[in-house]
Amino acid sequence: MVNMADVARLAGVSMATASRALSDHPHVAPATRARVLDAAAELAYVVSPEASRLAGGVTDRIAVVVPHLSRWFFGALLDGLESVLREADKDLLIYHVGDAADRKSFFERLPARRKVDAVVVLGMPIARPERERLEMMGVHIVAAGGQIEPYPFVSIDDMVAGRQAVNHLLFLGHRRIAMIATNDPGQPGWPIRAGRSRAYHAALADAGLPADPDLAVTVPWGGAAGAEAMAELLSLREPPTAVYAHSDEVALGAIRTIRRAGLRVPEDISVIGIDDHPLAELTDLTTVAQPVRDQGALAGQVVLGLLSGAATDPGITMATRLVVRGSTGPPRVA
Amino acid sequence: MVNMADVARLAGVSMATASRALSDHPHVAPATRARVLDAAAELAYVVSPEASRLAGGVTDRIAVVVPHLSRWFFGALLDGLESVLREADKDLLIYHVGDAADRKSFFERLPARRKVDAVVVLGMPIARPERERLEMMGVHIVAAGGQIEPYPFVSIDDMVAGRQAVNHLLFLGHRRIAMIATNDPGQPGWPIRAGRSRAYHAALADAGLPADPDLAVTVPWGGAAGAEAMAELLSLREPPTAVYAHSDEVALGAIRTIRRAGLRVPEDISVIGIDDHPLAELTDLTTVAQPVRDQGALAGQVVLGLLSGAATDPGITMATRLVVRGSTGPPRVA
């Protein structure tokens, strides 16, 4: 069992300084604090939650861990979460973990600085070693816009959302349906939204359609990548008559490529997304809508419930729904 | 001069409790703290910066005040700001002031809770009484994505950006040019982006064109409002041949209405925006690009400079540039 003396020794400071640095005392030079935190991270030192509670207790601060700040989905989650927590007079601390290095440093340093009452993770999967670091903090953990076993979460069911999208294309009569799945280049190796891919394969299998690996493309998230993925699909000898994209922004990129090729949406190729991004309505994009702001707000209520000691739902799954607009229609009769 | 005894009396608590509540001490019941903060706000009580510094000193926390969390512009500013402040091991506290009530409560309570070393205000004007409350905190104040006299700022020049947009339409030969300006329904009465409107009027005057008040429409910010504004312009006996929108999302709304009316962009009506929103490239929108993430990052550097006692630029104005895409062209020959 590592104790504070070990941390002080490794950092080359006195016990008193190590204690001050770890308890976030103001009169510690930033460089010294950083050295102590690094030592604590290296030794996986954990501030005893008991001791910490005696020393500090309620901070009225909630940490929000978010992989992207400038994307609509995460902004809308944050918007909903903030509205509920502000009402309860909590402060939100934002931790943006944009890439693997950020992520590593965030989770390594986390347990040593118990500055918050709860951690909310927005739309981001968490690996087992990271979960262990989170748990060392001894604070409540909630996932919003995604699921992290075994914590309480507020999310949609990606499998259901994906089925709604692909079923709509099947119902319209499409038989050659492509999927543009997305991953996160900042967090390589993460199966982002795996349910949306499983839904595609399951829906095609249920419809008795053959699996054609050429029709399932995975690209980094974003409109430009969606445009490139669509070009790849148009380079096939027999391109799809319909495209299911994992998000609206990716779908809009695909539509640009289709139009640049001189083809019409939906007469030549139908396109459907997931999200109901604010621009989906403006661009007449058929999509599966999810309540993003509400997921954030409900997660805020889950946090407040946990802090007040109330029993909490292990998970809240919010409904998604098909929004039919002008980017989908029946395939042309061959 | 109001002192802490007055606050304690009004809140109906002891001096010790008032002091603990105001210094953010953990062992104060939330209801009691709220009562003390309300009393402090009512009396405009100010924690003496001197006393506060002795008691607390450096918090390593920066407050970010933001009017919208789910819009790209504010998310991108926050992204840049966070990247620089995280690097310096600062924590970001987010304060979302969405409407007039939020705003009032935020600024009233602000001086009584000195929990941060600096306040960064993102793309939002601040009224004189609010500035006074901010100044009572005795901390550094920086504006990003907009200007607030007399504080250091990082922004674009709205007058220059607006001129670049309107000059491009004039150069293409347009003489009947409309403007869709935007305001913020959550913050009524604020002259949002007044420079972008002044630029329009000045550019037309310089070109010797008459001012037609029917051609200048102001709507709440957003794509749907842009669509409605365009409908209003199409109800004129002589609609414009070109439209200058204060932001890309508004421009995309205008384009939807033009297309729904069976008209072509740019053959029948040209449209230009400001921002270079990520979807502008995908939708082939001509725009005036501004470096949004960089404004946030530079503002973070300004904050760090102020905290280290370095002399700081009174203001940093970043360059904007015309990006020509497919939504603008010469007017049809009548």
Q: Is the Cβ pair A223, B278 closer than 8 Å?
A: yes
The one-letter code for the residue type at B129 is P
Across the beta sheet with A216-220, what order do the strands follow?
A216-220, A177-183, A242-245, A270-275, A286-289, A321-323
CB interface of A with B, residues 134-193, below 8 Å: none
The whole-number average pLDDT for the span A268-287 is 95
Would you state the structure tokens that stand for residue B55, as one six-digit string? Answer: 């008691």
Nearest chain A residue to B74 by CA distance is A70
The whole-number average pLDDT for the span B26-36 is 82
The whole-number average pLDDT for the span B179-195 is 80
Q: Is the Cβ pair A282, B252 closer than 8 Å?
A: yes
Quick check: A324 pLDDT over 60? yes
Nearest residue, CB atoms, A282 vs list B27, B34, B253: B253
Residue of B33, B70, B77, B102 to mutate when probing chain A, most A C-beta within 10 A? B70
**A chain contacts of residue B74, beta-carbon cutoff 8 Å:** 75
**Sequence ranges of the domains in chain A:** 1-45, 158-290
pLDDT digits (tens, 9 = 90+) for B267-288: 999 999 999 999 899 899 999 9
Q: Is the Cβ pair A93, B92 closer than 8 Å?
A: yes
- What predicted TM-score, i.e. pTM, was given to this entire model? 0.83
CB interface of A with B, residues 301-320, below 8 Å: none
Sheet strands (E) in chain A: 61-66, 91-96, 118-122, 140-144, 153-156, 177-183, 216-220, 242-245, 270-275, 286-289, 315-318, 321-323
User: Do A163 and A319 meet the contact criterion of CB atoms below 8 Å apart?
Assistant: no
Residue A54: predicted pLDDT: 36
Nearest chain B residue to A57 by CA distance is B26
**A chain contacts of residue B88, beta-carbon cutoff 8 Å:** 30
Residue of B81, B94, B258, B290 to mutate when probing chain A, most A C-beta within 10 A? B94
Length of chain A: 334
Q: Is the Cβ pair A82, B69 closer than 8 Å?
A: yes
Task: Tell me if chain B has a CB within 8 Å of the CB of A29.
Answer: no
Task: Tell me if chain B has a CB within 8 Å of the CB of A253.
Answer: yes
Nearest chain B residue to A26 by CA distance is B58
Query: Mean of the per-residue pLDDT values for chain A?
Result: 88
Nearest residue, CB atoms, A93 vs list B93, B281, B282: B93
Q: Is the Cβ pair B98, A115 closer than 8 Å?
A: no
Task: Tell me if chain B has a CB within 8 Å of the CB of A222.
Answer: yes
The whole-number average pLDDT for the span A22-39 is 80
CB atoms within 10 A of CB B58: 13
Quick check: A52 pLDDT over 50? no
Quick check: A288 pLDDT over 60? yes
Nearest residue, CB atoms, A279 vs list B69, B88, B279: B279
| C-alpha to C-alpha distance for A236 and A249, rounded to whole angstroms | 23
Task: Tell me if chain A has a CB within 8 Å of the CB of B99.
Answer: no
Domain A1-45's class? mainly alpha
Task: Tell me if chain A has a CB within 8 Å of the CB of B62.
Answer: no
pLDDT band at B51 (very low <50, low <70, confident <90, very high): very low
Task: Using alpha carbons, select from B233, B147, B228, B153 the residue that is nearest to residue B191.
Answer: B147
> Pairing mode, if any, of strands B177-183 and B242-245?
parallel
Give me the CATH code for the B158-290 domain, please: 3.40.50.2300
The whole-number average pLDDT for the span A73-87 is 94
User: Do A226 and A249 meet the contact criterion of CB atoms below 8 Å apart?
Assistant: yes
Nearest chain A residue to B66 by CA distance is A79
Residue A71: predicted pLDDT: 92
Quick check: A205 pLDDT over 90? yes
Sheet strands (E) in B198-246: 216-220, 242-245
CA distance B38 to chain A (A): 12
Examine the predicted complex and report whether its ipTM is higher than 0.90: no
The whole-number average pLDDT for the span A66-95 is 92
Quick check: B241 pLDDT over 70? yes
Residue A334: predicted pLDDT: 60
Q: Note if the bond before B26 is cis, omega within 30 degrees.
A: no
Quick check: A111 pLDDT over 90? no
Q: Is the Cβ pair A282, B75 closer than 8 Å?
A: no
Nearest chain B residue to A117 by CA distance is B26
| C-alpha to C-alpha distance for A197 and B45, rounded to whole angstroms | 57
The whole-number average pLDDT for the span A46-63 is 60
**A chain contacts of residue B115, beta-carbon cutoff 8 Å:** 91
Burial class (CB within 10 angstroms; exposed 0-12, middle 13-18, buried 19+) of A235: exposed
Q: Is the Cβ pair A82, B94 closer than 8 Å?
A: yes
SS3 assignment for B269-287:
CEEEEEECCHHHHHCCCEE
Task: Tell me if chain B has a CB within 8 Å of the CB of A59.
Answer: yes
CB interface of A with B, residues 274-293, below 8 Å: 278-279, 281-284, 293
Could you give the angle at the alpha carbon of B182 between the alpha carbons of B178 and B184, nearest 5°?
Answer: 170
Task: Tell me if chain B has a CB within 8 Å of the CB of A25.
Answer: no
Residue of A282, A283, A293, A294 to mutate when probing chain B, most B C-beta within 10 A? A282
pLDDT digits (tens, 9 = 90+) for B136-167: 777 889 999 999 888 999 999 999 999 999 99
Nearest chain A residue to B117 by CA distance is A26
User: Do B6 and B16 meet the contact criterion of CB atoms below 8 Å apart?
Assistant: no
pLDDT digits (tens, 9 = 90+) for B99-109: 878 888 788 77
**A chain contacts of residue B23, beta-carbon cutoff 8 Å:** none
Q: Is the Cβ pair A75, B79 closer than 8 Å?
A: no
Task: Tell me if chain B has a CB within 8 Å of the CB of A67.
Answer: no
Task: Tell me if chain A has a CB within 8 Å of the CB of B131.
Answer: no
pLDDT band at B55 (very low <50, low <70, confident <90, very high): very low
Residue of A72, A91, A230 to mutate when probing chain B, most B C-beta within 10 A? A91
> Pairing mode, if any, of strands A321-323 and A286-289?
antiparallel
**B chain contacts of residue A75, beta-carbon cutoff 8 Å:** 69-72, 74-75
Task: Tell me if chain B has a CB within 8 Å of the CB of A106.
Answer: no
pLDDT band at A200 (very low <50, low <70, confident <90, very high): very high
pLDDT digits (tens, 9 = 90+) for B38-50: 888 888 776 654 4
